[in-house]
Structure 1
Amino acid sequence: MKKLLYVLLGIIIVVVLGIVALVTLVNPNQFKPVIAEQVKEQTGRDLVISGDIGWRFFPTLGLNVGETALKNPQGFAQPNLIQFKQAELSVAVLPLLSHKLDIGTVSLDGAHVFVQTLKDGRSNLDDLTKQSTSTTQQESTAAPASKPAKETASKAAEKSWQVSLAGVKLLNASVDVVNEKTGSNIALNKVNFTLDTLAPNIWTKAQFDMAGVANGLQFTTQGSTEINLSASYKLCELKDLQLSLTAKDAKTDIKHAQINVDHFKFGEWATLTLQAEGKLSDIAFATKGQTQLSLSSDQNILTLENLSLENSLSGKTLPRPNMQVNLKTNASYDVATKTATLSKFSANADELAVSGNASFVNHDVPVIRFNFSSDKIDLDRWMNAEASAPTEQKKVPETASNNAAPATSSSAAPAKAKAPTAPANKANHEPDLSVLKGIDVAGTISAKQFVVVHAHLSDVQLALSIKNGIAELSQLNAKLYQGTIAASGKLNVNTPLATYQFHNQINGVEIQPLLEDIADNKQLAGRADITTNLSGTGLSAAHLRNGVVGTIDVKLTDGAVYGVNISEMIRSAKARLKGKKLADDKKEKKTDFSSLTALLKLGQGKATVDNLHLASPLIDINGRGVTDLNNESMDFSVDTAIVASGKGLDELKGITVPIKIKGTWQAPTYQLDLKNLFKQNSELEQKAKKELNRGLEKLFGDKAKDEKIKNVADQLLKGLFN
């Protein structure tokens, strides 16, 4: 028993003597110049250790380092890049006797990091990167024989002391990242980080959590991973990365986001999975996805293979209350050229599917290029909230009869949902298109079927570009209702009110189904050739109606005007003149024609026509008039000449019959202009008087020659003609 006590007493004496020797023989402040010199060599910055380095004996043997700061260059808002008030580390005793400094876990409490980018693009990290690169190049190119014969004091101290570090613990740290060039500001607080072991080629676990504000967005994040450092203490590999995040501001509420990476190594593939749910503005989302990720060995090319994202969306501002939007693509980002590319891209928004490729270059003016295609694009369903619910779309007829009557039976297709009318107080509201001044976009879109403003197109080929505030539609070719359409246009938003130009050429289009779809109007049929040349200033509803100028040249063949039978009106007028009444004709009211031409001139909120001409085997019509684009009213005069015989019109052949067309676009009215009819045709007036006198003689006999009765007859005749 005494021997055991002697042994324990001996150990205690050795430990006490060791501590006394340590405190007496080893002064930790001698490491100050070694550390400062090494930091200066590696970073080019001054490391200032203001406080003393002292021994700590409880709870473990170690060192306390006082206030320390790594300085910033001149010209930055704060003097220090990194600073802390107190650091603690534990030290193994016995290795010290062999000039080995085996440091345990380094604990930093209350550290602060300040990173700033000035308006000219300079950062307080720039020279650190340059110094590190320069040092690496020197180490890799220097030959062993190039070492100087005389080494500095720091080199000698480094050779005499071997330093190792067991781990790092960062507590209650803070970080400020200020970028004056972009206007961004990130402030991190409550930053905690632990690293089990800081040694090369050894797997060690790292854990972290932090909270902060990024440009007004408050967030918290925490995570863990295992890392493996190379011999130069740079990241070599990581595995089992788990990162969770929450974020919130006035418009954003990310309730939970989780990212996992199985195993990452430069130049090799890693599997990344993602889950997130929350709210952006008033759109709620639930997202999940995965991809294969690779970062090149030079850390310049980031590649994502088979990226897949599934998004469940809901919200009032969406085209429909609930949507499923799925994305699949391959993507890459080149750090050197700031170029992102998408290949094998496909997107499905419910039944809408788009595929293609795109690229994005992050310059001061972003450069975007794209090439997309789709089997069907229905813009109306995505721009009109009232038509958000999926409905069966009416098919465009494969063939259209020129003389087909408008559907009037109860089995007719239901009316389509109409776009909501803009409130009156928004009629003068110009859309904000300033974003067009800051992007460079060019690309093509093709679609087998395309629906816009209820018009159905097929085999669409579209090419457009946006640059320097000018949007240009260089090509729009498509099939349209058994015909074709070719269009081009330009929009300039560099002026106080945007200006536009538009050219459109329609050939061989069946006009009735087109008008029925876009205007719910079935009153005109025929095969149309239409040339449109328009320009104007302003894009508000009021400016579009009142500021547009140009022409619309219309040519229709083999068609019909529904709602009026002009020949029947003329026969009815003839019967009235003879004191007769035609039996009700239950035939469809329409006027067939072989050709119809008109040139519409737009300006000052009106569309004027002065050369309307309709030709048919029965009649020849010439007309003129005006329609108001604001209240959609019309006032037209049409002169109708009978050019055929038969059908009770023999007596009227060669006589011009004027007709007035008034009302609105949706409800026009037709009326014979009897006053002008008899002014233009004196012979017809004489025939009418003769027929009237004959009727009076049958009614009054010899009394019909009485002057009073003649005066009454003249007044009746004037009233009839006027």
Structure 2
Amino acid sequence: MNWFKWLLAAVVGLLAVTVFYLLVLFDLNDFKAEITQKVEQQTGRQLHIAGDIGWTVYPSLGVSLSDVTLSNPEGFVPEQMLEVSTLVAAVALMPLLNKDLQIQQLHLDGVTVNLVTAKNGRTSMDGLTSDQAVASAPAETTAPVSAPGSQQLQLEDVSIRNLQLNMITEGSPTQSLTLKSLNLTDFKANEWAPLDFELLVKSDPTQLNLKGSAQLQLSNNNQLVQLKDFVLDTEFQGLPLKQLVLETDLKLALDKKQLDWQWQKLELDDIKGSGQLAVNYAKQAVIKLDLKLDEVDTAVYMAENTSTTEAEAASNTEPDLTALRQFDLDLKLAVKTLKVSGLHTENLQLELSNKAGLVQIQNASADLYDGKVVAKATLDARKTPVSYSFNKQLSGLALRPMLIDGADIDLLSGTAKLSIEAKGHSLLPEQLKKNLLANGSFEITDGSLYGVNIAQMIRNAKATLKNEAQSTDNTEQKTDFSSLTGSFNLTDGVLTNPDLKMAAPLLRLAGKGSANLLTEALDYQLSTALVNTSKGQGGKEKDDLAGVEIPLKISGTMQEPKYSLDTKALFETQLKDKVETQKDKLKNKLLEKLGGL
């Protein structure tokens, strides 16, 4: 056995001498010039290593570098493509011999990557890859795939600080991504390990600052990545959004190309909710999104984005919706309270799908001003310009507060029922009104027409013709009605209403007219007919006003409608009544005289 001891001692001694030589006598810094020369020959780039190259052999195989730069192609700005202040990497040597990769230390600090795209199409990556070498490489027999778990990955200490990626396109604002910090410790396959990071994303004038922490787990076969207790806090600058906070769990199955993301808590500024996201990207991306939100008020975001909205309104370019053709989407959205453009809705339920550019709202419903709205819609973005269609039914709607909130129009009150079907093409703001074709019907009960008291107008007109004093009644300027009905159609931006009818305690009204949605101009020609009694809205006895018919014209705009009576027709009616009265008197006198004979 002595020979074995001597042999073992010789091997150990040889290893010790080798390690001593490598660590003490062998200096990697002596090869700096050769390394930089090889890089320049292969890539045409300048590699500069200002700091020392340090390394270890046992018990870990490691290397350390500092102050390293790699240049961009000549003529590019900035000159350096890569700058590294500090790099330290070490792996356990003995486990590596058994195909177990145990990274004992990985530290990066002060890394900057500048990826430039010139106007002529050249990029920072040109010359760093060789397609020719890949194409000319001889075919090799495929090696047998290792069984799952035969290669183990273990990370004991990973720390990254101040890693910045700048994406520079000449003539465009620079976009940058800065990983301020990333820490991962005690990471082993199929075990949970703590992870935290801070990330900054800039694209003038917007900026995102993300902070996150989680427990990370990677399966033995490296195919399943999981994050639990994942908290993500995002702050926005240069956007209407201010802050997004998520508390989530995430699973990413690399073999199935499937992402599942559960949002137990979602806070976007004052918006609170929860949801889940599933994405399969095996072929064309298939996305499923389910969101439940409490209170949503879009006014804050729309107010801060006024300039963008105005710019889009002035644009003559159709919105580019070709991205909708690249994925499928199933969306379910539930919102307890929603405020959009001043309108308030409750209990919104929305089901939406996108199939390669064909967007459909199969079901949308909400409680709206004491009533209910139900709608369906389709948007076809598979061609340009896009086309769309929708139908909507509203019932039990409190009309006056809705018009005031949504359009700042105090014109009508009552309980409304509305049905509309529409279709059109183009999403340009002006084209939306011009190209929309629609038809529908409405019925409003127990309401009032504000801004005019038709009965009082008629009485005052008659008083003027009789040289009598006009009414000084300070009754609110409105016309009460029991029902207001009609149908409508919309073509070329003009809404035509051919059969408007109003039934009121005092009068009946009927006629037709139009409303121009482009200019907001009103043009209605109506006929009023007073019923047998006018009592109930400041009227007189029935024999004074009964049976009078008079044309009524509505002009002006939706914001400021104008009402005018055709006094000429009223005068002719009054004159006719007087003639008939005189004829009756003469007839009676004649009959009296004839009777006396």
What TM-score range do you get, normalising by the shorter chain? 0.7 to 0.9
**Residue 640 and residue 57 in structure 1: after superposition, are their counterparts in 2 closer, same or farther (change >3 A)?**
closer
Match of 2:240 in 1: 319
Deviations 1:359-412 (A, max 9, x none): 11224422110111111122333333179xxxxxxxxxxxxxxxxxxxxxxxxx
Question: Quick one: structure 1 residues 690 and 582, their matched pair in 2 at CA, closer, same or farther if it must change by over 3 Å?
Answer: farther
SS at 1:268's partner residue?
coil
Partner in structure 1 of residue 154 of structure 2: 237
Q: Which amino acid aligns with 2:165?
A: A
The one-letter code sitting in structure 1 at the alignment partner of 2:240 is P
Is 1:306 matched up with 2:229?
Answer: yes
Tell me the secondary structure at the aligned position of residue 337 of structure 1.
coil
CA distance in structure 2 between the partners assigned to 1:112 and 1:377 by the alignment: 60
Structure-2 residue corresponding to 1:633: 521
Task: Describe the SS at the equivalent of 2:95.
Answer: coil
State whether residues 197 and 204 of structure 1, in contact with CA within 8 Å, keep that contact through their aligned partners in structure 2: yes
SS at match of 2:462: helix
Matched residues in 2 for 1:683 and 1:173: separation?
A: 99
- Judge conservation of contact 1:195–1:207 (CA < 8 Å) in 2: no
User: Cα RMSD between the aligned structures?
Assistant: 3.9
**Paired residues for 1:553-592 under 5 Å:** 553-592=441-480
Partner in structure 2 of residue 145 of structure 1: none
- Secondary structure, aligned partner of 2:443: strand
Question: Which residues in structure 2 correspond to 1:69-108 (within 5 Å)?
Answer: none
The equivalent of 2:165 in structure 1 is: 247
Q: Distance in 2 between matches of 1:61 and 1:628?
A: 89
Preserved CA contact (<8 Å) 1:110 1:174: no
Q: Does 1:458 align with 2:346?
A: yes
Residues 675, 498 of structure 1: CA spacing in aligned structure 2 closer, same or farther, 3 A cutoff? farther
Match of 2:292 in 1: 373
Question: Secondary structure of the residue that 2:262 maps to in structure 1?
Answer: strand
TM-score of the superposition, structure 1-length normalised? 0.62
Unaligned runs of 5+ in 1: 1-17, 23-55, 67-83, 88-106, 115-162, 177-186, 220-231, 388-418, 693-722
Residue matched to 1:7: none
Greater shift after overlay, 358-367 or 505-514?
358-367
What CA deviation, in whole Å up to 9, does each residue of 1:668-698 have, x standing for no partner? 00010123445xxx55333468999xxxxxx
**2:200–2:210 CA contact under 8 A, matched in 1:** yes
* Corresponding residue SS for 1:200: helix
Larger Rg, first or second structure (1 or 2): 1
Change (3 A) 1:378 1:586: same
In the aligned structure 2, how far is the partner of 1:329 from the partner of 1:657?
Answer: 69
TM-score by length of 2: 0.74
Cα distance between partner residues in 1 of 2:482 and 2:60: 96
Separation (CA, whole Å) in 2 of partners of 1:203 and 1:360: 32
Shift of 1:436: 1.2
Change (3 A) 1:270 1:578: same
Which amino acid letter does the alignment assign opposite residue 598 of structure 1? G
Find the partner of 2:375 among 474, 487, 508: 487
CA shift digits 1:569-595 (9 cap, x unpaired): 111111111111223221101101010
C-alpha offsets along residues 281-320 of structure 1, whole Å, 9 cap, x if unaligned?
32234332200110011111100001111223222xx226
Residue 518 of structure 1 aligns to a residue whose secondary structure is helix
Question: What's the offset of the Cα at 1:63?
Answer: 12
Measure the CA separation in 2 of the matches of 1:57 and 1:427.
69
Distance in 2 (alpha carbons) for counterparts of 1:189 and 1:424: 41
CA distance in 1, matches of 2:346, 2:573: 56
8 A Cα contact 1:428 1:542, kept in partner: no
Secondary structure in structure 1 of the residue aligned to 2:93: coil
Q: Which residue of 1 aligns with 2:202?
A: 279
Could you tell me which residue of structure 2 aligns to residue 684 of structure 1? 574
CA–CA distance in structure 2, aligned partners of residues 524 and 365 of structure 1: 50
Counterpart position of 1:497: 385
Give the match's secondary structure for 1:637: strand
Alignment partners' CA distance in 1, 2:150 and 2:387: 60
Displacement of 1:353: 1.3
- Deviation at residue 502 of structure 1 after TM alignment: 1.0
**Counterpart code for 2:61:** G
Q: Which residue identity does 1:319 align to in structure 2?
A: P
Separation (CA, whole Å) in 2 of partners of 1:112 and 1:205:
32
Deviation at 1:430, TM superposition (A): 2.2
The number of residue pairs the alignment matches comes to 496
Give the drift of 1:59.
6.6
Amino acid of the structure 2 residue aligned with 1:288: K
> How big is the shift at 1:655?
2.4
Answer yes or no: is the 8 Å Cα contact 2:152–2:220 preserved in 1. Answer: no
C-alpha spacing 1:193/1:684, structure 2 compared with 1 (3 Å): same
Contact 2:91 2:103 in 1 (8 A): no
Cα offset for 1:554? 0.9
Change (3 A) 1:472 1:110: same
Which whole-Å CA distance do the structure 2 matches of 1:339 and 1:473 have between them? 25
1:660 aligned to which of 531, 553, 568: 553
| Equivalent residue number for residue 17 of structure 2 | none
Q: Percent identity?
A: 28
What residue ranges of structure 2 are gaps of 5+ in the alignment?
1-9, 15-20, 44-56, 73-80, 97-101, 118-122, 126-148, 168-172, 583-597
